[in-house]
């Protein structure tokens, strides 16, 4: 690969950065030392290499001394490499012939108290930079065309939202849904707590917009059959009602949603008609099939979650539980034998019962100031939950309350504003919350022909029993069974929780590591509608970037495969985090330049040494390492 | 005429993300930040849960990308002072406060700072450390230029000094320059002004500012940070000693209607767990007790993180409210709590308060300026909280991040991209449907 090049002519610029470097490193001495290194024809020190006069000095030296390599020894490439590379380009030098040596973080900052060593290390690092610079080659960045069209997989609330946004930005959008109807999980729900309206109202409006949008190609009863390509140029085969259809797109959004986990046998699920899940209950409400004569209903949260089967917390089930607990109360109060006034009465009643609680709570005579404060505080803060609501269970049924609703829980996760306020309201309405620890969950059995929940009351430190008419399990959302296959087809990973795994858990929540593929909604993990919608817009934003530009700038630093050496073992494909390796007809590896990030993982795993990283060749790295191992000059 | 320009207010992670998304697709962005540097709250945090990524290390590249972007005009130390117009055509006035240092010339070398005789508490370090009157708020500040704080600079208060001017070798100091006003025409506005840490002093039961060794969580974040005021050493206020037993009290001011914050701040269960883990990582013999109402571990990997906190880092979780007293003999805080109705006391070396988070100071005034709604707690309200969470009632003005409602970093990032998508939709030919 070595090109026919004239002897390299290197210029070195050492920066004082005021006291930042100059205060700890003997900068003029380092510059003098640089002059003694092989191929260095120019070295100087600047007060600020990044200031106008420093940049001019680089440009002038390139022209006047015919420099073919430039090294700046200063701060961090993170902030300053783009600047110096641009200056090189402006002076007619390929920017990949520039080398950055960081003597601030690596020398002056970390060796503030050892100034001689800081100076010696600066010299060492520059010597290494020179050794590598000699072997550098110019590189070109190529632009890769991106089709202005997207494939959105999944026609639930997230997929529809993302598709509409992309279409309204002007991009051709293919929306595929495996079911015969759009709407996804929302079709299973009754009333939404955010709006107090039916979920149908939310998704039907969206469906109308999707169907009316002429930029959206809608395919129902459709799945993704196969996929080839890379960012900008994905070729997909869809299975539309059993028939193949080929489409080409630039980007892909995964919005495949989630299922409700239904662990057979857990707390008797599937063994008794009156043991159901939250979604079963939603369906009951929706179809108006909630038994009219309910006297007692028990909810059990974290059923199969947080260490019981699944490790994760499913985020939304506490709020859905609270919503439905209130629903049970509301339905009972409206039902036949209930005192219909219960809702109107609830405010006054609360005042009365709070007083009762206060009395009941009044502790021993001598209590510390802090305790009094804490108690006062607690009442205000919790609406008397711990003592009040749980104690409520010991009292006769509330005046007017037609039904007794108990939520067995491991703590209630109603984060944020609305959800917490809803939780507070449910306590005002006398929903009872009884806490259990995971080591000792409630037990469900049939005793004397009656559904029985036996539990240990953590606050009262006593065993208790109750006989609910209905037990509703709050089970977590879980990944759909076909996700594994999709993950392989798209070459994007699933996490340990089996949900799709984003590129970075903090800062890239809707990106995959693979360019051109994005993620939103519950395919990513449990989320409520608002969160799924925000993510959907987010994914649409990310997908629109390369499509708006019409191209992506591929990395110049990528790997390439020596076909003579490749044995087709596929090790590289397995380790590549970006899905950037494909195989030709002969079974030999090829790098998809558009997808490669130049991380070098493939090169390090290749048993045949058939893969080389441009700009970080073995030869260049070895030269740098050998320079480091030599004694530093005087 | 419609402009493809967007004004982003707030340079924290949400504002940065929204700006980058828009700029990357070729739109022109003006990013206005009130403080001398972009970075926001995330820049102050030590690590981030549940991966323990170094916060500034993952943020700094984004800050640099933002500042160096050809399509982003970053205006720090600036505030929006006037808005007029409609979606697609807003006229904004931005007041650029006088920082008295020429941003184009200053390299942030620190020569001036070394000579400045004035020391004041550093807001960035939650006032645990000191800074000069001419200062860089933190090491990784972007832009890396100095700012003279007029309130404390003795040239402005007493009329003489100018030592910084003498120290600056490249003439970057501009004592004579006053504030400037800038008129912008933009198609859309994204508001991402973030949160403030609620001051727990009024809630006397927690002993803040009365019991010396009681700190807020944000103070602890700065203290445990290697670049912070104590160089990463956890130190008691009373004697500088390193604690071995720390009590963390949750929901301080949150879920508390009496203190006007009945809401859950959404992040303190996790940041306290993280802080307890980090304390143990610093010192093997560190013991942590977290006093909580409900442990809300609802994000990706959160519950697993808490379980690791218990099994690998020896954190003890105690389900109780708690208040704080002081042992006058050794200034140890005493945590008063109850178990099954019985009062208990635990003497610890330090207490960390997980204080609630509130909208930024000035958020309501900004809402008024923008003519958008705030809820009773001061958070910006969505027009349609179910299906258009980032839209406000005023077309073309969008919201993202904690200023909108309690959330963690990835949610703020996703929402910021979402707000960018809505702005792009508006400014595309077809318009918002």
Q: Which one of A202, A307, A413 has the shortest CB-CB distance to B387?
A: A202
Instruction: Give residue A212's Cα distance to chain centre.
Output: 32
Contact at CB, A168 and B379, closer than 8 angstroms: no
Q: Which one of B108, B386, B429 has the shortest CB-CB distance to A529?
A: B386
Q: Is B255's Cβ below 8 Å from some Cβ in A? A: yes
Q: Answer with the one of B333, B356, B379 that is the final residue of a domain.
A: B356
Tell whether B102 is covered by a domain.
no
Quick: pLDDT tens for B265-299.
999 999 999 999 999 999 999 999 999 999 999 99
Interface predicted TM-score (ipTM) over 0.85: yes
What's the rounded Cα separation, in Å, for the pair B29 and B74?
8
What's the rounded Cα separation, in Å, for the pair A256 and A478?
12
Contact at CB, A541 and B424, closer than 8 angstroms: yes
Q: How confident is the model at residue B429 (pLDDT cuts 50, 70, 90)?
A: low
* Amino acid A579: pLDDT: 87
For residues A378-394, give the mean pLDDT. 40
Q: CA of A383, closest CA in chain B: separation in Å?
A: 9
pLDDT of residue A632 exceeding 60, the answer is no
Looking at the structure, do residues B79 and B159 belong to the same domain, yes or no?
Answer: no
Contact at CB, A169 and B424, closer than 8 angstroms: yes
Q: What is the mean pLDDT of chain A?
A: 89
Burial A243-276 (b: 16+ CB within 10 A, else e): eebebebbbbbbbbbbebbbbeebbbbeeeeebb
Contact residues on chain A for B302, CB-CB shorter than 8 A: 312-313
Q: How confident is the model at residue A6 (pLDDT cuts 50, 70, 90)?
A: confident
Calculate ∠ Cα B191-B193-B195, nearest 5°. 145
Looking at the structure, do residues B188 and B44 belong to the same domain, yes or no?
Answer: yes
Quick: pLDDT tens for A582-597.
999 999 999 999 889 8
Looking at the structure, do residues B87 and B118 belong to the same domain, yes or no?
Answer: no
Looking at the structure, do residues B278 and B328 belong to the same domain, yes or no?
Answer: yes
* Amino acid A17: pLDDT: 87
The DSSP code sequence of B191-208 is E---EEEPP-TT-GGG-T
Tell whether B254 is covered by a domain.
yes
Quick: pLDDT tens for A258-276.
999 999 999 999 999 999 9
Question: Which residues between 211 and 250 in chain B have a beta carbon less than 8 angstroms from any beta carbon of chain A?
Answer: none
Looking at the structure, do residues B189 and B221 belong to the same domain, yes or no?
Answer: no
The DSSP code sequence of A185-254 is GGGG--EETTTTEEHHHHHHHHHHHHHH-TTEEEESSEEEEEEEEETTEEEEEEEETTEEEEEEESEEEE
Q: How confident is the model at residue A387 (pLDDT cuts 50, 70, 90)?
A: very low
Contact residues on chain B for A108, CB-CB shorter than 8 A: none
A615, with CB counted inside 10 A (0-12, 13-18, 19+), is: middle
Looking at the structure, do residues B256 and B368 belong to the same domain, yes or no?
Answer: no
Quick: pLDDT tens for B90-134.
999 999 999 999 999 999 989 999 999 999 999 999 999 999 999
Total domains in chain B come to 3
Contact residues on chain A for B294, CB-CB shorter than 8 A: 411-413
Most B CBs within 10 Å, among A192, A323, A412, A509, to test the B interface: A509
Looking at the structure, do residues B235 and B328 belong to the same domain, yes or no?
Answer: yes
Q: Which one of B114, B255, B298 has the shortest CB-CB distance to A413?
A: B298
Q: Is B386's Cβ below 8 Å from some Cβ in A? A: yes
Q: Report whether the peptide linkage leading into residue A362 is cis, meaning its omega lies within 30 degrees of zero.
A: no
Q: Which one of A206, A313, A541 has the shortest CB-CB distance to B21?
A: A541
* Amino acid A361: pLDDT: 36
Q: CA of A136, closest CA in chain B: separation in Å?
A: 25
Tell whether B172 is covered by a domain.
no
Q: Which residue of B has its CA nearest to A192?
A: B386
Q: Report whether the peptide linkage leading into residue A530 is cis, meaning its omega lies within 30 degrees of zero.
A: no
Locate A34 and state its tokens: 């640089």
| Whether pTM exceeds 0.80 | yes
What's the rounded Cα separation, in Å, for the pair B263 and B357?
10
Looking at the structure, do residues B213 and B149 belong to the same domain, yes or no?
Answer: no
Domains of chain A with bracketed CATH: 10-139 (3.40.50), 149-258+479-553 (3.50.50.60), 266-342+399-473 (3.50.50.60), 558-614 (3.30.70.20)
Q: Answer with the one of B328, B356, B384 that is the final residue of a domain.
A: B356
Contact at CB, B298 and A415, closer than 8 angstroms: yes
Quick: pLDDT tens for A463-493.
999 999 999 999 999 999 999 999 999 999 9
Looking at the structure, do residues B226 and B336 belong to the same domain, yes or no?
Answer: yes
Cβ distance B335 to B321 under 8 Å?
Answer: no
Instruction: Say which CATH number the domain at B259 has.
Output: 3.50.50.60
Tell whether B174 is covered by a domain.
no
Q: Which domain holds residue B73?
A: 5-97+179-194+360-430
* Amino acid A48: pLDDT: 87
Most A CBs within 10 Å, among B294, B345, B384, B423, to test the A interface: B294
Looking at the structure, do residues B202 and B328 belong to the same domain, yes or no?
Answer: yes
Q: Which one of B302, B385, B421 has the shortest CB-CB distance to A530?
A: B385
Looking at the structure, do residues B315 and B379 belong to the same domain, yes or no?
Answer: no
Q: Which one of B255, B386, B432 has the shortest CB-CB distance to A168?
A: B432
* Amino acid B354: pLDDT: 98
Identify the DSSP state of A441: -
Q: Which one of B53, B343, B428 has the shortest CB-CB distance to A506?
A: B53
Contact at CB, B425 and A539, closer than 8 angstroms: no
Most A CBs within 10 Å, among B387, B395, B426, to test the A interface: B387
Q: How confident is the model at residue A369 (pLDDT cuts 50, 70, 90)?
A: very low
Quick: pLDDT tens for B351-381.
999 999 999 999 999 999 999 999 999 999 9
Tell whether B103 is covered by a domain.
no
B417 C-beta neighbours (distance < 10 Å), count: 34
Cβ distance A30 to A112 under 8 Å?
Answer: no
Quick: pLDDT tens for B131-143.
999 999 998 899 9
Tell whether B106 is covered by a domain.
no
Contact residues on chain A for B142, CB-CB shorter than 8 A: 79
Tell whether B105 is covered by a domain.
no
Contact at CB, A380 and B258, closer than 8 angstroms: yes
Q: Is B172's Cβ below 8 Å from some Cβ in A? A: no
Q: How confident is the model at residue A384 (pLDDT cuts 50, 70, 90)?
A: very low
* Per-residue CA distances from B11 to B75, B198, B412 (Å): 9, 20, 13
For residues A275-301, give the mean pLDDT. 95
pLDDT of residue A52 exceeding 70, the answer is yes
Contact at CB, A312 and B343, closer than 8 angstroms: no
Q: Answer with the one of B341, B356, B371 that is the final residue of a domain.
A: B356
- First CA to last CA across chain A, in angstroms? 35
Looking at the structure, do residues B157 and B286 belong to the same domain, yes or no?
Answer: no
For residues B287-313, give the mean pLDDT. 97
Tell whether B163 is covered by a domain.
yes
Cβ distance A357 to A391 under 8 Å?
Answer: yes
Locate A545 and state its tokens: 């970037």
Q: Which residue of A has its CA nearest to B260?
A: A381
Quick: pLDDT tens for B315-358.
999 999 999 999 999 999 999 999 888 999 999 999 999 999 99
């Amino acid at each position: 690969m070595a090109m026919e090049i004239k002897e390299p002519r290197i210029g070195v610029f050492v920066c004082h950065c005021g006291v930042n470097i100059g205060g700890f490193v003997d900068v003029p001495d380092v510059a003098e030392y640089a002059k003694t290194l092989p191929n260095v024809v120019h070295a100087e020190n600047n007060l600020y290499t990044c200031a106008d006069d420093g940049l001019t000095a680089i440009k002038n030296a390139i022209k006047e001394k015919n420099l073919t390599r430039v090294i700046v020894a200063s701060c961090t490439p993170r902030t300053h490499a783009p600047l110096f590379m641009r200056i090189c380009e402006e002076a007619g030098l390929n920017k990949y012939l520039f080398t950055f040596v960081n003597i601030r973080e690596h020398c002056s900052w970390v060796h503030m108290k050892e100034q001689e060593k800081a100076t010696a290390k600066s010299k060492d690092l520059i010597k290494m930079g020179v050794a590598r610079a000699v072997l550098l080659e110019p590189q070109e960045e190529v632009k890769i065309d991106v089709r202005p069209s997207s494939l959105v997989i999944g026609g639930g609330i997230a997929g529809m939202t993302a598709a509409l946004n992309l279409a309204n930005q002007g991009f051709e959008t293919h929306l595929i849904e495996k079911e015969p109807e759009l709407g996804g999980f929302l079709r299973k729900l009754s009333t939404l707590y955010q709006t107090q309206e039916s979920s149908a109202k939310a998704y039907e409006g969206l469906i109308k917009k999707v169907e009316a949008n002429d930029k959206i190609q809608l395919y129902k009863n459709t799945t993704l059959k196969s996929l080839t390509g890379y960012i900008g140029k994905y070729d997909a085969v869809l299975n539309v009602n059993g028939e193949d259809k080929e489409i080409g797109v630039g980007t892909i959004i995964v919005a495949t949603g989630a299922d409700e986990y239904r662990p057979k046998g857990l707390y008797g699920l599937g063994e008794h008609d009156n043991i159901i899940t939250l979604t079963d209950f939603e369906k009951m409400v929706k179809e108006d099939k909630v038994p009219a004569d309910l006297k007692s209903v028990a909810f059990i949260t974290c059923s199969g979650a947080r260490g019981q089967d699944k490790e994760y917390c499913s985020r939304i089930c506490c709020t859905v539980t609270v919503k439905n607990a209130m629903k049970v109360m509301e339905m009972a109060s409206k039902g036949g034998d209930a005192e219909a006034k219960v809702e109107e009465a609830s405010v006054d009643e609360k005042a009365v019962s709070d007083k009762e609680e206060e009395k009941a709570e009044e502790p021993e005579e001598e209590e510390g100031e802090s305790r009094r404060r804490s108690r006062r505080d607690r009442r205000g803060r919790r609406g008397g939950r711990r003592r009040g609501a749980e104690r409520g269970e010991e009292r006769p049924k509330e005046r007017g309350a037609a039904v007794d609703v108990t939520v067995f829980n491991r703590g209630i996760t109603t984060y944020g504003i609305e959800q917490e306020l809803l939780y507070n309201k449910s306590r005002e309405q006398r929903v009872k919350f009884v806490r259990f620890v995971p080591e000792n969950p409630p037990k469900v059995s049939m005793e004397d022909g009656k559904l029985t929940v036996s539990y240990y009351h953590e606050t009262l430190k006593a065993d208790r029993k109750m006989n609910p008419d209905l037990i509703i399990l709050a089970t977590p959302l879980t990944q759909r069974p076909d996700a594994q296959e999709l993950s392989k087809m798209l070459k994007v990973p699933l996490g340990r929780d089996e949900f799709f795994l984003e590129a970075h858990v903090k800062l890239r929540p809707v990106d995959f590591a693979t360019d051109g593929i994005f993620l939103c909604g519950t395919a990513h993990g449990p989320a409520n509608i608002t969160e799924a919608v925000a993510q959907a817009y987010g994914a649409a934003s990310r997908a629109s970037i390369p499509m708006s530009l019409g191209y992506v700038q591929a990395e110049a630093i990528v790997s390439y495969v020596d076909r003579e050496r490749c044995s087709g073992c596929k090790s590289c494909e397995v380790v590549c985090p970006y899905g950037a390796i494909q195989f030709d007809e002969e079974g030999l590896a090829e790098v998809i330049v558009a997808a490669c990030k130049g991380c070098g993982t493939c090169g390090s795993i290749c048993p045949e040494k058939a893969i080389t990283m441009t700009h970080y060749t073995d030869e260049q790295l070895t030269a740098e390492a050998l320079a480091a191992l030599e004694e530093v000059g005087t | 005429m419609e402009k493809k320009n967007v004004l982003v207010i707030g340079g924290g992670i949400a504002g940065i993300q929204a700006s980058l998304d828009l700029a990357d697709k070729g739109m022109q962005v003006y990013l206005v930040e009130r403080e001398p540097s972009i970075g926001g709250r995330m820049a102050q945090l030590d690590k981030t849960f549940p991966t323990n990524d170094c916060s500034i290390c993952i943020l700094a590249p984004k800050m640099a990308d933002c500042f160096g972007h050809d399509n982003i005009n970053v205006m720090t130390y600036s505030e929006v002072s006037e808005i007029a117009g409609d979606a697609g055509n807003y006229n904004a006035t931005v007041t650029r406060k006088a920082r008295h240092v020429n941003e184009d010339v200053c390299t942030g070398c620190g020569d001036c700072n070394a000579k400045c005789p004035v020391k004041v508490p550093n807001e960035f370090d939650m006032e645990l450390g000191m800074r000069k009157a001419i200062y860089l708020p933190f090491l990784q500040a972007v832009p890396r230029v100095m700012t003279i704080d007029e309130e404390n600079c003795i040239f402005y208060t007493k009329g003489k000094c100018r030592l910084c001017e003498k120290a600056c070798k490249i003439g970057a100091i501009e004592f004579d320059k006053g504030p400037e006003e800038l008129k912008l025409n933009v198609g859309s506005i994204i508001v991402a002004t973030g949160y403030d840490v609620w001051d727990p002093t009024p809630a006397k039961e927690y002993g803040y500012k009365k019991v010396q060794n009681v700190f807020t969580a944000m103070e602890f974040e700065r203290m445990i940070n290697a670049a912070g005021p104590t160089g990463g050493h956890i130190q008691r206020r009373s004697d500088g000693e390193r604690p071995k037993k720390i009590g963390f009290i949750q929901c301080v001011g949150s879920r508390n209607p009496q203190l006007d914050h009945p809401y859950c701040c959404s992040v303190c269960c996790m940041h306290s767990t993280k802080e307890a883990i980090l304390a143990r990582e610093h010192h093997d013999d560190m013991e942590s007790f977290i006093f909580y109402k409900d442990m809300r571990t609802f994000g990706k990997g959160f519950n697993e993180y808490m379980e690791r906190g218990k099994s690998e880092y020896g954190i003890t979780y105690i389900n109780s409210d708690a208040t704080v007293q002081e042992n006058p003999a050794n200034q140890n805080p005493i945590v008063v709590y109850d178990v099954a109705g019985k009062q208990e006391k635990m003497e610890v070396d330090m207490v960390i308060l997980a204080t609630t988070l509130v909208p930024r100071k000035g958020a309501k005034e900004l809402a008024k300026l923008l003519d958008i709604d705030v809820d009773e707690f001061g958070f910006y309200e969505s027009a349609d909280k179910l299906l258009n969470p980032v839209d406000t009632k005023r077309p073309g003005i969008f919201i993202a991040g904690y200023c909108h409602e309690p959330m963690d970093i990835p949610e703020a990032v996703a929402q910021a991209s979402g707000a960018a998508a809505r702005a792009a939709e508006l400014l595309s030919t077809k318009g918002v449907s």
